[in-house]
Amino acid sequence: MRELCVAGLLVLGILPGCDLFRTSEEDRWNPEFEWHFSRPLPEIDLAQLDTEFTRFIRGVEALSDSVRKQAAVDSFMAIAAAAGIPYVENGGIAHFLYRDSRNPELALIGDFNGWGYDRPVLSRLAQTDLYYYSMAVPSDARLEYKLIVNGVLQRDPLNPGTCCFGDFGLNSELAMPDYLPPPEIEICDIPHGTIESFPFTDQARGSTRQISVYLPPGYREDGASYPTVYFHDGSTYLNNAYADRIFDYLIYQQRIEPVIGVFVEPRNRDSEYWYDEVFLNIVADELVPIIDAMYNSSRQALDRAVVGFSKGGMAALYFTYMRPEIFGCCAAQSPAIHNTELVECFAESQPFRARIYLDAGTYEPWIYEPALELAGYLEENDFDGRFFGWNEYHSIGNWRAHLDEALQYFFPPE
């Protein structure tokens, strides 16, 4: 397969002489594996908790009449609103607060319970309009959630922080004190790259899809060649994960070298991202040569990355496992490798020249545990790789905040 691919590139006349300005892969190859873990869940006995908030609750309960109770609540809530709601204490205790005098049924749903049925119920502080629920949360966590008010999901009206495109639309967001919000996803007054697009019809299946291409600021056709990053779920990475902003920011900050981004949208996500060798060959043997012919891209495998999240992350791993001579870098964000053979494949594999970035959220254990297992095999078998664990869930908010880690690993400025 690999010999046929190289032969095809030679026929097209685009393989030799295209990387005169790039450091050789041999000079850049020094495999190692790194582990980066998130902070642990604090060991807190909520029943024995003694904090400002619990003392406030006990103080209100000790008051003799409802007027004084409500006045104490009003005073505390003014302080809590200024500090931010959910109200966080000691770096690891989050108090979810809600006000309603109509005695509603209240519960929470979100990343912390997998958006499932084990839904914490908020307690009412007697003779007041305050409802509350306290939860131990790692100090660097970022969690999305909603309130369930009389059976209806809604955002937290006391929390202005939101995150788009979570599991249930626009969610409320809890960012703990040690969570570092990603500045690279914001719109910044810096040089911006350009986005081009063209229709691509493959020969293997005759299907047509739109390909979007990011060109970095100052892109030149007559200069040094550029690394390329191929994205599964291309429109999601571009429109919801703001990959173009991330490129702009990292390039401007000189945290990565200028790169070209190629955003590929699936025609059938479930089938194309599930061990689909035809789709792999469409991208590797049809699309890659077209990109290399149209743009000033490097042909070195370590200058070509494939990126994906969830099922797209599994597909990214599959692409690099099958064709490391084409895709020398792989970023698998929360890869859906449970119930797949990929972990076993890498466990039994001899190391090959590739850089593999894995990350997963501790609040998605069905993803986190297989990813951790895979990372262990990669280290054991002397692969070059990075594993990052985040105290987050299976969401765009997670993936877009950490794409920079993969890009900086693959393409540090020379």
List the one residue out of 96, 83, 88 whose CA is nearest residue 130: 96
In angstroms, the CA 280 to CA 205 distance is 12
In angstroms, the CA 164 to CA 143 distance is 12
Q: What's the predicted TM-score (pTM) here?
A: 0.91
**268-308 pLDDT, tens per residue?**
999 999 999 999 999 999 999 999 999 999 999 999 999 99
Q: Which domains does the chain have, with CATH numbers?
A: 2-39+183-410 (3.40.50.1820), 46-175 (2.60.40.10)
Rounded to 5 degrees, what are φ and ψ at 121? -100, 135
Task: Specify the pairing of strand 33-36 against strand 384-390.
Answer: parallel
**340-397 pLDDT, tens per residue?**
899 999 999 999 999 999 999 999 999 999 999 999 999 999 999 999 999 999 999 9
Q: Are 148 and 119 in contact (CB under 8 A)?
A: yes
User: Could you tell me the CA-to-CA distances from 100 to 121, 126, 128, 166 in Å, in that order?
Assistant: 15, 12, 9, 26
The residue that leads in pLDDT, 287 or 170, is 287
Rounded to 5 degrees, what angle do the CA atoms 265, 4, 358 make? 45
**What is the DSSP annotation of 148-186?**
EETTEEE--TT---EEEEETTEEEEEEE-TT----GGGS
User: Could you count the other beta carbons within 10 Å of the beta carbon of residue 289?
Assistant: 18
**60-96 pLDDT, tens per residue?**
999 999 999 999 999 999 999 999 999 999 999 999 9
**What is the DSSP annotation of 197-246?**
EEEEE-TTT--EEEEEEEE-TT--SSS--B-EEEESSHHHHHHTS-HHHH
Which DSSP helix (H) or strand (E) runs through 70?
helix 66-83
In angstroms, the CA 182 to CA 68 distance is 43
Q: Is the pLDDT score of 21 beyond 50?
A: no
